[in-house]
Amino acid sequence: MQDLAGKPVIVRTYEAAKATNLFDEVYVVTDSEVIFQEIEANGGKAIMSQKEHDCGSDRIAEAVENMDIDIVVNVQGDEPFTSREGLEKVLAVFNEPDADKIDLASLMTEIHDWKEINDPNTVKVIVDKDNFALYFSRSPIPYPRDKNVEIQYYKHKGIYAFRKQAIMDFYHLPMRSLEAVEKIECIRYLEYGKNIKMAVSNTAGVEIDTPEDLARANKLLKETKPDTVNNKFRNFPMVPKVVFGAGCFDQLTSILASQKKENAPFIFLVDDVFKDNAEILDRINLRFNDKLIFISAEEEPKTSQVDDLVKDIKSEFTHTPSGIIGIGGGTVMDLAKAVSIMLINKGSAADYQGWDLVKQKAVYHVGIPTISGTGAEVSRTTVLTGPVRKLGINSDFTPFDQVILDPDLTIGVPKNQWFYTGMDCFIHCVESLNGTFLNAFSQSYGEKAYDLCLEIFLGDSLSEEESRAKLMMASWHGGMSIAYSQVGVAHAMSYGLGYVLGTKHGVGNCIVFQHLEEFYPKDVALFKKMVEKHNIEIPQGICKNLSKEQMDTMITVALGMVPLWENALGADWETIITPEKLRELYLRM
């Protein structure tokens, strides 16, 4: 009940868990009348537990005994900084191939400071090669007898995800001596032979066990606003080299020459729309063991697709490639970025979805757009659909080392597609320029790109050649504009469509945007003019026959895009965008 920046710690913890949008229901289970009242008074759900319990898991077991649930997650009441990322990771293990073996999952964090490793208040954990827990202890484990062996120490975080059976078993099993002597609850599972899968999460947080912790937490809350990565000063890299102009694609070979490493191939990922296009293919000079892989842009890139490509490349070549060259639209360029990262960084691409999770520099990578609008050629992200979410790998190592902007490559783009992808750029500008995160940096790029879009899509003075070149630069500037701000309503809702229906990004944005008059009145009117002028078909009625479950998922995915809503509508966005509001909007689409 202690105050944390104006609200009791337990209320903060409850709100943080709810805000992740990962759960069907969130409850506070307590034996305290005061806490029960406080949660209910704040509009939350609380359950009074009847009996005296030794630990939180028992209390939760009692609460869920008669609930119909698959997985229950125990978040300790003193963890108000519980992050979506950590909870997602602990849940994601239940989607992995060895999920059948898992009784419960928990989290661990890398620790490096010997003081912390030695501190008995910090519970350490050691794991096997598949990250199943071997033991938990307040002693430093393992003991570093040989100081030259490199070993990573992990601290256990008190977040658990149980299969229902596992928590019920636990409830009925008596405590044994290891648990009793270490005073560590989860040792009981090990003592009874249960499998605990550990996920790694390195997001910082503060558990509140002591008054000093509370003081630190209050300070942390003042300094940082959780979940708003976008309103800090951002120190981001730019594409260091770019060549522009009709025909400049021919310079590719000479550009690559200086990057060639002995025996290490260049891998060209090329949109399969060019499969029979000898004119383009002849200009890619494959040498020695260079390899060209055609990529279908039928579906948007997936983390599993990245993992497969990396596996194939690694099994075919002993040397890490000299470079990855992506030739295509946003789909192929994003794949090229992700593959170049994952050739160096271990694990699955899904492990790196989020902000700044990539630790090692990617393989040299080159982006060559063949359609304009997404800004993927200049951005710091690669948007991927993973097992639990659609989210970019946003890191300093994501941007291309080299970009080749040749407007002639976009000549064959079909009209509808030209419009959908071009509108991605227009909408990036609208959302950036009308957002609360706007600053002079974003504005200067956004306004230029916006004006270019109006000239291209509403003007009558441009030749086709000029129009291609200008759209290529609009895409670039639009991408730069959102680098220092954020997108908004159309993107958040389009992500929902993409996740549930597989609707592609560009067309999804258009489907949504035409119904957003109340958020972007002037620009929706302009958009409609553009649609009319170019005689474009925007699909209609795509949400009419959704099941309740699909609709709920769509709403959950859209609501999960917190920074986008914050940018669009400010900190109080949740009072405007409720699940009901989103349902009503989606039903119009």
**Contacts to ligand NAD by CB under 6 A:** 271, 273, 297, 300-301, 328-332, 334, 370-371, 373-376, 379, 381-383, 409-410, 412-413, 417, 421, 424, 504-506
Q: Which listed option, ligand NAD, Zn ion, none, makes contact with residue 309 (CB within 5 to 8 Å by class)?
A: none
The answer to whether 509 and 427 are in contact (CB under 8 A) is yes
Cβ partners under 8 Å of residue 107, min gap 6: 86, 89, 90, 156, 157, 159, 198, 199, 200, 201
The answer to whether 341 and 395 are in contact (CB under 8 A) is yes
Least Cβ distance, residue 394 to Zn ion (angstroms): 14
Least Cβ distance, residue 239 to ligand NAD (angstroms): 12
The answer to whether 10 and 38 are in contact (CB under 8 A) is yes
One-letter amino acid at 345 equals N
Give me the helix-helix angle, 505-513 and 415-433, nearest 10°.
60
Pick between residue 373 and residue 488 the one whose CB is nearest to ligand NAD. 373
Pick between residue 88 and residue 424 the one whose CB is nearest to Zn ion. 424
Structure-token match 């504005």, residue found: 443
Least Cβ distance, residue 491 to Zn ion (angstroms): 6
Structure-token match 């609380």, residue found: 46
Q: Which listed option, ligand NAD, Zn ion, none, makes contact with residue 407 (CB within 5 to 8 Å by class)?
A: none
Least Cβ distance, residue 20 to Zn ion (angstroms): 24
Structure-token match 């025996």, residue found: 263
Pick between residue 62 and residue 377 the one whose CB is nearest to Zn ion. 377
Within a 10 A sphere around the Cβ of 318, how many other Cβ atoms?
8
Least Cβ distance, residue 330 to ligand NAD (angstroms): 2
One-letter amino acid at 437 equals F
Pick between residue 44 and residue 367 the one whose CB is nearest to ligand NAD. 367
- Near Zn ion by CB under 5 A: residue from 58, 401, 406, 424: 424
H-helix segments, 274-358: 278-281, 303-316, 330-342
Pick between residue 8 and residue 373 the one whose CB is nearest to Zn ion. 373
Sign of CA dihedral 401, 406, 407, 413: negative
Q: Which listed option, Zn ion, ligand NAD, none, makes contact with residue 297 (CB within 5 to 8 Å by class)?
A: ligand NAD
Least Cβ distance, residue 334 to Zn ion (angstroms): 11
Least Cβ distance, residue 297 to ligand NAD (angstroms): 4
The answer to whether 366 and 326 are in contact (CB under 8 A) is yes
The answer to whether 503 and 445 are in contact (CB under 8 A) is no
Within a 10 A sphere around the Cβ of 259, how many other Cβ atoms?
15
Q: Which listed option, Zn ion, ligand NAD, none, makes contact with residue 303 (CB within 5 to 8 Å by class)?
A: none
Q: Which listed option, Zn ion, ligand NAD, none, makes contact with residue 409 (CB within 5 to 8 Å by class)?
A: ligand NAD
Longest dimension (CA), the chain: 83
Pick between residue 400 and residue 513 the one whose CB is nearest to Zn ion. 513
**Which one of 90-98, 299-307, 417-425, 436-444 is the stretch in contact with Zn ion (CB under 5 A)?**
417-425
Query: By CB under 5 A, what part of segment 17-36 binds Zn ion?
Result: none
Q: Which listed option, Zn ion, ligand NAD, none, makes contact with residue 17 (CB within 5 to 8 Å by class)?
A: none
The answer to whether 239 and 402 are in contact (CB under 8 A) is yes
Pick between residue 72 and residue 350 the one whose CB is nearest to ligand NAD. 350
Pick between residue 30 and residue 394 the one whose CB is nearest to ligand NAD. 394
Under rule CB under 5 A, residue 334 binds Zn ion = no
Pick between residue 29 and residue 564 the one whose CB is nearest to Zn ion. 564
In the chain, the N- to C-terminal Cα span, in Å, equals 45
Least Cβ distance, residue 276 to ligand NAD (angstroms): 12
Pick between residue 106 and residue 494 the one whose CB is nearest to Zn ion. 494
Structure-token match 């949109």, residue found: 271
Which whole-number Å values give the CA distances from 10 to 15, 48, 130, 213, in the listed order? Answer: 9, 15, 34, 14
Q: Which listed option, ligand NAD, Zn ion, none, makes contact with residue 79 (CB within 5 to 8 Å by class)?
A: none
Least Cβ distance, residue 40 to ligand NAD (angstroms): 42
Least Cβ distance, residue 424 to ligand NAD (angstroms): 6
Tokens of 450: 């916006």
Tokens of 453: 């879009």
**Spatial separation of the C-alpha atoms in residues 353 and 368, rounded to whole Å:** 23
Residue 161: half-sphere exposure toward Cβ, Cα within 13 Å? 22
Question: What number of helices (H) and strands (E) belong to the chain?
Answer: 23, 19
Q: Which listed option, ligand NAD, Zn ion, none, makes contact with residue 10 (CB within 5 to 8 Å by class)?
A: none
**Spatial separation of the C-alpha atoms in residues 32 and 36, rounded to whole Å:** 6
Q: Which listed option, Zn ion, ligand NAD, none, makes contact with residue 496 (CB within 5 to 8 Å by class)?
A: none
Least Cβ distance, residue 330 to Zn ion (angstroms): 8
Pick between residue 273 and residue 405 the one whose CB is nearest to ligand NAD. 273
Chain residues binding Zn ion by CB under 5 A are 424
